[in-house]
Structure 1
Amino acid sequence: MLSKFIAKVKEYLGIIIIGGAFVTATIIVFTAQRGSEETVHIVTAGETLAKIADTYETTVEKICEENYPDISEKYVLEAGTKIKIPKNRSRKIITIRLAHWQLEPGVRDGINFMAKEYQKLHPNVRVVQNAVPETTYGQWFVTQMVGGTPADLMEIGKVPYSLLVTYYMRYFTPLTEYVTQPNPYNANNEFAGIPLRDTTKDGLKNCYIPEVQEYMGIGLSQFLVRMYYNKTLLKQLAGYDRAPKDWREFLDVCEKISKHKFINRVTRKTLDECDQGIRECRERLQRGGSDAAMAQVNAKMKEIIAKTNALMATIPYYVPVANSGVQMGQVEHNMFNVVTSRGRDLIDFNHDCSVSTTETYIGFKTKKVSLDFPPYRAKFALVSNFCSYCIPGFTGLTRDDGVLLFVQQRGIFISTGTWDAQMLEEQAKDNGFEVAVMEFPIPSKDDPDFGRFMEGPAYEDPATGFMFGCPTPENEPEKRKAAIDFLLFLTGKENNIKLNQMIGWIPCVSGAEGAGILKQFKAHSEGVTPALNFGIGGESIIKWSQMYALYQVGQISFEKMRDEFTPYYIERGYNDYLTATKNWRRSMLTDEKMMSMLRARAFTSTNDRQNSEYWTKYRYVMLRPLTREVDVSFEQNLMKRSQQKDFMPPNAYEYSAEALQRIKNRR
């Protein structure tokens, strides 16, 4: 059979070769015709022939020849004009790189989708994203900057702020002109003609860098922190159809949960086998038989019971709160610090409605407050009760460890932000339980132990996150323009909502809510700030971190923590303060550089509006060292006087009986 086939091929070899050549020629001609199709460029406002020629990698002369006699080198282009591009010329491909540390599900898919949508409008632009692990992003960020190889859009963060300010001034493109102008991608919605910053929920306030006097980034999402819970297990283990509404109900729920053992699938299978074995032995005993046979069955049943008891002894209990060192910080701000707010009345010496590290130290040094101050003691009582329902040693766990404990359904509650919402929902579906969101269960005002310290929930000032800046160098203006334009595309109302829906986050644009579980996230625009801050630096903060971690896991008592830390803090705090602030005037170098740059720009600017802005910024930067001198001088004076034995500052606030009554009536 094979020999006949080979013979036929030899017989018709010539015809086969001719046919193949014909097909090849046809493909070549078709490809050539496709490549020589006429390319037409539609002029946009502000474009010139030189710019168009550079875009298509050709020359002005060739464009004029192709469009002769309609267009010449002196021809003034109008928006909407159609220009034929020389054959075999295509628009130059621009590739912009985008880097971030968000590895949560949906982020990369969302950005890829928006990149494809953007490419439909700008066929010559390609967007390539680079997701770097969060733990190494800071080092990677610095390396890229110093090496001159940054991505065109870099997510800003994971770098010390002082270093970041230096990078802003040296590498990043100011985005003020874009933030203060209408976003072209909002031209067809209610935000048309409105400056970009006024279309966002927070006005992009955290994107404005005072040291540089410019908007240096644009954020895409809003983040809040709440407590998630396993709705299925809450009903099964504690009998609650809803989330606990306050601290007392939360403790009741945790107590009920902690009495149940966590039996996973493997253990459940083994226990079922043991139960089956015991039932079979009992049935055999009921049927009766010889004494020897009954003795053998009894021995077997005792063996199975012993195995069951041994196995049950090794099974852990449910952990009411899936916690870690990272999540504990979030809980601390929202649940525990709320009872300390009354400390402001005593030690908020500069009257800024918050208590700084130096004010805390002065309060302790002058004995106006101590760890026995009732609101502070109330905080640590809350901490002790809460931590008793966490897994032992949780302070040494990472954020991912806490999330894993919750996903495995061993922990019922977990504190985390909107960045984990979609992931937790997906994991809940895969593991057969329902997840829900609740407010932090703070003490109610009628709580017998803590109610008298409560003035409200923790104040939240959610800023726009997922912020990107553009460090593309000036010698690549096309890439820089495309990168910034893509960033504007992502902040357009419809695009921003779509992006955040795909990621599972809250959009940054005004009036847009999160989808699904995120609809329950509402910021507390009215609330209280904490009044206890030991972060003065140096050895003091190290000592506090060590003692507080031991207290959280129950290895030391409150009394031991108080007695060991307080004298150490009072003795070391002042020296730690001097060490931490000895170089505070170094920031003046940055101010002087900024003033020189703004003054030069103001002198050379020919635009009246920009000229006025430069002088306004110049005056602000010029006054900044003066205001800093006043603030630091006031602070240093208080710290120095606190070392005197007879120094006792007055209470920060004093309220008359009439004022207090008016406040109560207003509530």
Structure 2
Amino acid sequence: MRWLNSNVLGLGLLAVGFAASIFQIFSKEREFSEPGKTILRICHWQLELGYRDALEKVIAEYQKLHPNVKVVQMPVTERLYPQWLNVQLISREAPDLCEMGMNKFTQDDTYMVRFFLPLSDIVEKPNPYNRGTELEGVPWRETFIDGMRGGYRESLQDYYSVPTTTAAMRFFYNKDLLRRATGSDRPPQTFGQLLDVCAKVKEYGRRTGELYIPILSNYQVEPFIDPYLTAFTAGLEPQVDFDLDGVISRLDTHAGFVRGMLSMDMPEVRGFYELMKALCDNMAPGFAGMDRQQAQWYFVQGRGAFLATGSWDGESIYQQAVEAGFPVGVIPFPIPAKGERWGDQVIGKRNEANAQGIGPYGVYKFSRNQAVAIDFLHFLTSRKYNEMFNQEAGWPPVTIGAQAKELMKPFQPDPTGYNTRIYFDINPQVDLVWKGQQARFLSGEIPYETLAAEYTRAVFNEGYGGDRAWGQEYDRRMRECRDQERVLAVQACRIIYGLDARDAPAKYRKVLVQQVTRNNGQDLRARFNELRPGKPMPEP
């Protein structure tokens, strides 16, 4: 056996690897080429339990109706998807349908126009697969619960993707643990009740000698920022909505700090952070470093009372909880009630009326199968098959009239409440300071006064502070105006040459009004000059 040395072994392993690679290539070639059939490729990053099986079930139904079509899923992990799709788009080898998001080429207007098909003319026509329902004859875009806003690009005046589902963040709770710790599996309805349950869960852990964590989160503190900051600061809108558009923007927030109408010491802001600290005191030590897999693992092992996450994790959580032997419930994030601490500082809960469809797919502009791709999207978003898809995946449906699976009903958008708040992430540079100091405060490293002082210092920093946000937004709007000029030119050509231009006059007028109103970003320059007299607009 002298001949069996490391070199020979290495060559053997290399040969085996090469043979496996060749086999994989030919296997994929067979999968993506079938004589006499149209191969429709669809890529996405949804690897959650149930999604691929649900999509495969819809694909099977579609292929029964269209035996000359073969639809192939191409799932890619979240981490690899952005780079992988960029390469596919640049090399003009992209799948026919691509899930939009996660990378610049599917989010930036310049690249979206280059690589994806505009859908305005198509979405105005009925979805043929809705025949026999009350959606028959209704324009496709009006069959979505969000009016297809999730696929519309305001700056381009066109639709570039088709949503397939919706989502929301909620608390999952372990009914069995609540019953053992509190004597009842009734979930808390207010924030004060939530803290009371958390205290009892901690005491139950001490009494039994077991580790129980009152609150877990798949995304650290991110799920709590929007609902609780809205509850505390939506009432400030009449004072700090300086451009009178009905919402508080990041620039409004900065202007509020500059004018002295906002500060880190005001009761609403301090109250928000006191509540957040109370919430985090009931999370696991080191919660800021706990990732999605760790948090969910603790919960499905029966070690957590509450888990904050999105509807996309619902199916896997329910199934794993059943296997672990405990029932699970779902509640929205409770807010303080009158008579409780912070009850007089909150105005009400956040609403979800602006919830948009997610899981959007765009049609690759250079696909040889555009008509089939659009037909499959019609099929997937018809009432019958959107219901089938989302019930199987365990996600809330996006098509009007499609029924959600029972466990998904708590995730359906709640239209009551308030929809604006202040923003601490005024620009990327201030955002870094804010998130860093916020994490230190919420983990108990620094007092609130340090967080407040460091954040205020960042907002007023001459180099990277809030003033720079105006320059960054001005630069963005200038580029947007250039894009709008191209849109105006396209719509004008459609009108002049009569290129199926029924919608062109309306689009032209809408874009022109936007241009005139914003005047190449000069509205921002005027607002900045009023806010900072005599100071030049900062570079972006």
Q: TM-score, structure 1 length as denominator?
A: 0.71
Query: What's the secondary structure of 1:229's corresponding residue?
Result: strand
Distance 1:406 1:167, change over 3 A: same
Distance 1:642 1:614, change over 3 A: closer
Corresponding pairs, count: 497
Q: Does 1:551 align with 2:441?
A: yes
One of 314, 320, 325 as aligned partner of 1:432: 325
* Match in the other structure for 1:600: 493
Distance 1:165 1:644, change over 3 A: closer
Cα offsets for 1:210-242 (capped at 9, x unmatched): 222222111111212211111111111222321
Matches for 1:225-624 after TM superposition, within 5 Å = 225-261=169-205, 317-324=211-218, 326-444=219-337, 446-460=338-352, 461-473=354-366, 476=368, 479-572=369-462, 573-581=465-473, 583-584=475-476, 585-605=478-498, 610-624=500-514
Aligned-partner residue type, residue 314 of structure 2: A
* Match in the other structure for 2:74: 130
Cα offsets for 1:586-628 (capped at 9, x unmatched): 223322222222222222225xxx3231232223233333222
1:152 deviates by 0.4
1:381 deviates by 0.9
- CA contact under 8 A between 1:202 and 1:463: conserved in structure 2? yes
- CA contact under 8 A between 1:342 and 1:375: conserved in structure 2? no
One of 168, 190, 193 as aligned partner of 2:134: 190
1:410 deviates by 1.7
- CA contact under 8 A between 1:150 and 1:472: conserved in structure 2? no
Higher CA-based Rg:
1
- CA contact under 8 A between 2:170 and 2:330: conserved in structure 1? yes
Q: TM-score, structure 2 length as denominator?
A: 0.87
1:426 deviates by 0.4
* Match in the other structure for 2:87: 143
Distance 1:522 1:538, change over 3 A: closer
Distance 1:625 1:502, change over 3 A: same
- CA contact under 8 A between 2:182 and 2:200: conserved in structure 1? yes
Question: What are structure 2's unaligned runs of at least 5 residues?
Answer: 1-33, 535-540
- CA contact under 8 A between 1:358 and 1:635: conserved in structure 2? no
- CA contact under 8 A between 1:538 and 1:576: conserved in structure 2? no
| C-alpha separation in 1, matches of 2:105 and 2:254 | 24
* Match in the other structure for 2:22: none
* Match in the other structure for 1:175: 119
Matches for 1:76-95 after TM superposition, within 5 Å = 92-95=36-39
- CA contact under 8 A between 1:360 and 1:532: conserved in structure 2? yes
1:499 deviates by 0.9
374-383 or 577-586: bigger deviation: 577-586
Cα offsets for 1:539-576 (capped at 9, x unmatched): 32211111011111111111121123213322342443
| C-alpha separation in 1, matches of 2:424 and 2:106 | 22
- CA contact under 8 A between 2:383 and 2:399: conserved in structure 1? yes
Distance 1:352 1:405, change over 3 A: farther
Aligned-partner residue type, residue 181 of structure 1: K
Cα offsets for 1:133-184 (capped at 9, x unmatched): 1122222222211111111011111124885322331121222233211111
Distance 1:532 1:509, change over 3 A: same
* Match in the other structure for 1:642: 531
- CA contact under 8 A between 1:153 and 1:469: conserved in structure 2? yes
Aligned-partner residue type, residue 234 of structure 1: L
1:644 deviates by 5.8
Question: What are structure 1's unaligned runs of at least 5 residues?
Answer: 1-89, 269-311, 646-667
Distance 1:522 1:491, change over 3 A: closer
| C-alpha separation in 1, matches of 2:288 and 2:502 | 53
| C-alpha separation in 2, matches of 1:109 and 1:531 | 39
Query: What's the secondary structure of 1:459's corresponding residue?
Result: coil
**Identity, % of aligned pairs?**
31
Distance 1:173 1:437, change over 3 A: same
- CA contact under 8 A between 2:427 and 2:466: conserved in structure 1? no
Distance 1:254 1:537, change over 3 A: same
Aligned-partner residue type, residue 392 of structure 2: M
* Match in the other structure for 1:221: 165
232-241 or 580-589: bigger deviation: 580-589
- CA contact under 8 A between 2:173 and 2:306: conserved in structure 1? yes
* Match in the other structure for 1:117: 61
